């Protein structure tokens, strides 16, 4: 199971038992991985000042600093918190397994470790980690403010402009609880609107769903707005959810073609929605529609 040179990856093994280190090191080296070893949690943390392995195999039971404390410390560090941690444990108590996940571990294997199993788990989590890195790198390159966010609303990466908008809106590192429901509906593909608005300190922010990262995060586009949210437009003007989305983007200054691309519909469909919106608002032009909802 040798890895191609271009996918050559680094694994750190943290275990106080030399025999375990030797077995795992040989297996991983034969599989094409570069291997780092540490006999204690303290040693591992010192090494992490200098290196960034793609995954860490961490023994749960070690003297002085056990695996749980080691995991807690590396997850508390900004420079190491995203490295996937796989616990190796002989512990069978469910509480110990749960504790590992609560501290940020992504997986666990029971001792004695089986070579085929650990190689498969390492490959899976390195793949997911790479997906995350690519997604996080993408947000800065996109032309619009963008971010990645977990299913629980925690923001994991942002472009510079998106970070400014979130801070100005008083949202910090987490989206409001309602975002979790919206994200869950997007992931389930149940026909939820592709955009969602949240009221910030300086006006609403509009989030557009772009897709799910394999590791369970989502890429969102972000835009500030000064008008009412789509939900407010539905309530106050009797619009459908889609009509409210269209009008929301009209207020934000988007053209019909822009709106069609954002909502993944045809420009002709946008025009039809606008015709219905004009009738419901009692206006005849886009400018009048914007003036109506903005109270001008």
The CATH number of whichever domain residue 89 belongs to comes to 3.40.50.2300
Please tell me the number of Cα atoms within 13 Å of 9 on its side-chain side.
22
Per cent of the chain over pLDDT 90 is 29
> Which residues are CB-contacts of 279 (< 8 A; sequence separation ≥ 6)?
none
- R_g over Cα of the chain: 25
Q: Which pLDDT belongs to residue 203?
A: 63
Boundary of a domain, candidates 134, 155, 186: 134
The mean pLDDT value for 2-27 works out to 80
Per cent of the chain over pLDDT 70 is 85
Domain that holds residue 165: 141-293
130: exposed, middle or buried (C-beta count within 10 Å: 0-12, 13-18, 19+)?
Answer: middle
Q: Are residues 281 and 161 in the same domain?
A: yes
Q: Are residues 289 and 193 in the same domain?
A: yes
Boundary of a domain, candidates 91, 109, 134: 134
CA distance 55 to 148: 21
pLDDT band at 225 (very low <50, low <70, confident <90, very high): low
Six-digit token pair at 261? 């691309």
State phi, psi for 211 to the nearest 5 degrees: 155, 170
First to last CA, the chain: 68
Q: Are residues 166 and 197 in the same domain?
A: yes
Task: Tell me if 285 sits within 8 A of 277, measured CB to CB.
Answer: no
As a whole number, the mean pLDDT across the chain is 82
Vertex 126: Cα angle to 114 and 124 (nearest 5): 55
CA distance 285 to 148: 36
- C-alpha distances (whole Å) from 217 to each of 148, 184, 221 are 6, 11, 13
Window from 4-13, 52-61, 245-254, 255-264 with minimum mean pLDDT: 4-13
pLDDT band at 6 (very low <50, low <70, confident <90, very high): very low
CA distance 152 to 192: 17
Q: How many structural domains is the chain composed of?
A: 2
């Amino acid at each position: 199971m040798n890895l191609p040179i271009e996918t050559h990856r680094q694994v750190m093994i943290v275990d106080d038992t030399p025999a375990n280190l030797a077995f795992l090191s040989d297996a991983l080296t034969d599989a094409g991985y570069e291997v780092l070893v540490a006999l204690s949690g303290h040693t591992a943390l010192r090494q992490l000042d200098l290196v960034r392995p793609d995954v860490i195999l961490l023994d749960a039971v070690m003297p002085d600093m056990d695996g749980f404390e080691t995991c807690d410390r590396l997850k508390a560090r900004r420079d190491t918190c995203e490295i996937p941690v796989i616990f190796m444990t002989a512990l069978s108590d469910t509480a110990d397994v749960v504790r590992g996940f609560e501290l940020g571990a992504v997986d666990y294997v029971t001792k004695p470790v089986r070579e085929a199993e650990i190689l498969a788990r390492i490959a899976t989590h390195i793949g997911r980690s790479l997906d995350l890195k690519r997604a996080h790198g993408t947000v800065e390159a996109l032309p619009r403010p963008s971010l990645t966010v977990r299913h629980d609303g925690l923001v994991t990466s942002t472009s510079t402009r998106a970070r400014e908008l979130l801070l100005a809106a008083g949202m910090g590192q987490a989206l409001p609880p309602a975002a979790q429901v919206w994200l869950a509906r997007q992931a389930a593909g149940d026909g939820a609107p592709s955009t969602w608005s949240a009221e910030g300190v300086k006006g609403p922010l509009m989030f557009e769903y772009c897709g799910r990262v394999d590791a369970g995060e989502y890429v969102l586009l972000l835009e500030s707005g000064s008008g009412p949210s789509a939900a407010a437009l539905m309530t106050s003007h009797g619009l459908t959810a889609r009509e409210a989305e269209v009008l929301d983007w009209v207020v934000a200054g988007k053209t019909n073609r822009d709106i069609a691309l954002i909502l993944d519909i045809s420009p002709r469909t946008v025009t039809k929605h606008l015709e219905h919106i004009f009738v419901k608002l009692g206006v005849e032009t886009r400018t009048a529609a914007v003036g109506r909802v903005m109270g001008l």
